[in-house]
Structure 1
Amino acid sequence: MKNTLLRVNDAIYLTCIWVAGLAITVMALIIPWGIFARYVLGSGAGWPEPVSIMLMVLFTFIGAAASYRAGAHMAVTTFTDRLPDHWQPTISVLVQLLMAVICLFMTIWGIKLCIATWNQFMSTLPTLRVGVTYAPIPIGGFLSLIFILERLFFGDQSHRRAVNFELLEDSKEAV
């Protein structure tokens, strides 16, 4: 059961990385097009800026979930590092529980925000519902919550993936 859950989380993690990577790549292509259209063609397109902003929001919330699982998310440990060693496990669990509360808040209230703004449309992109633009908030919160629960129940998985890839490479060479 544990291995199945970890493999599912591996797939979710890789999907987060790909979504975040594609979002930043597309954003990096859209912004120069907007500049080119405005200053070279003389007619600024109205869509590059709002689409880039939405992609940045997607990158931020989905990428934050992936970076949390990878152990690369920002953490300020100045205070907790100075506490006695025997408190460290308790503090670590407390931090994970507080993170879970924040992610649960993001998920629940993010869904409510999406529902509340579903019937509104963006002025710059009149066919796009405002609720869709807020969707990365609850999705990112839910994905982060999955990775927090994984860390609480199965421990830190940030280094496990590299080991699995090495084992896969070793098994391919043996065949």
Structure 2
Amino acid sequence: MDSFGNTAAKAEAWIAGVLLVLMVVFVFTGGIARMMHTPMNWTIDAATWAFAWATFLCADIAWRRDSLMAVDLFTRRLPISAQKGLTILNYVLIIAFLIFLVVTGLWLSWTSWERSFRGIPSISYSWITLSLPVGGLLLLVTTGLKVKRDVFLRSRA
């Protein structure tokens, strides 16, 4: 990965970490406030926002680091050509799903622009739903880099 890619990956990991900490802080603050009989309903909405964004950022980080669960009990016993064919098929299915996620996420964000949070009425709900297309695009870029690495570069070796 180039210098820009490394910097972007570090920034993504930092942002994901901050969002996860914020989510915990929001839930904890809301729980303490509710226990003190002064509920802060906005903390649940803020935690939901942080969770939605952190989920996609963390998924991209795990995908980039090859840290997602994989079951290769049967595929590793196949011939190399069959393994490569299954790898290509998997990437095609993943790319198709991510394109669907980006398109429907954009549509959902567009249609929910008028909707607001229950606890924060002045903020649009689209700030949560935008995590779908943005996360999908990040995952799509990562998948493209994996295709380049696993299909095109390894076929030359």
Q: Which residue matches 1:15? A: 11
Q: Pick one of 83, 91, 97 that aligns with 2:86.
A: 91
Segments of 4+ in structure 1 off by > 6 A? none
Shift of 1:117: 1.0
What is the DSSP-based 3-state SS (H/G/I as helix, E as strand, rest coil) of the residue aligned with 1:43?
Answer: coil
Q: Which residue matches 1:160? A: none
Q: Any stretches of 5+ residues in structure 2 without a counterpart?
A: 152-157
Q: Which residue matches 1:124? A: 119
Shift of 1:82: 4.2
Instruction: Report the TM-score when normalising by structure 2.
Output: 0.86
Q: Is the 8 A contact 1:96 1:152 kept in 2?
A: yes
Q: Which residue matches 2:155? A: none
Instruction: Report the TM-score when normalising by structure 1.
Output: 0.78
* Whole-Å separation in 2 of the counterparts to 1:116 and 1:8: 34
Shift of 1:7: 3.0
Question: RMSD across aligned C-alpha pairs, in angstroms?
Answer: 1.9
Q: 1:104 to 1:12 in 2, by over 3 A?
A: farther
Q: Is the 8 A contact 1:120 1:129 kept in 2?
A: yes
1:48 paired with 2:59, answer no
Instruction: Look up the equivalent residue of 1:129 and give its one-letter code.
Output: S
Q: 1:74 to 1:28 in 2, by over 3 A?
A: same
What is the aligned-residue identity percentage? 22
Shift of 1:119: 1.7
Q: Which residue matches 1:76? A: 71
Q: 1:54 to 1:76 in 2, by over 3 A?
A: farther
Q: 1:9 to 1:102 in 2, by over 3 A?
A: farther
Q: Any stretches of 5+ residues in structure 1 without a counterpart?
A: 157-175
* Whole-Å separation in 2 of the counterparts to 1:79 and 1:11: 37
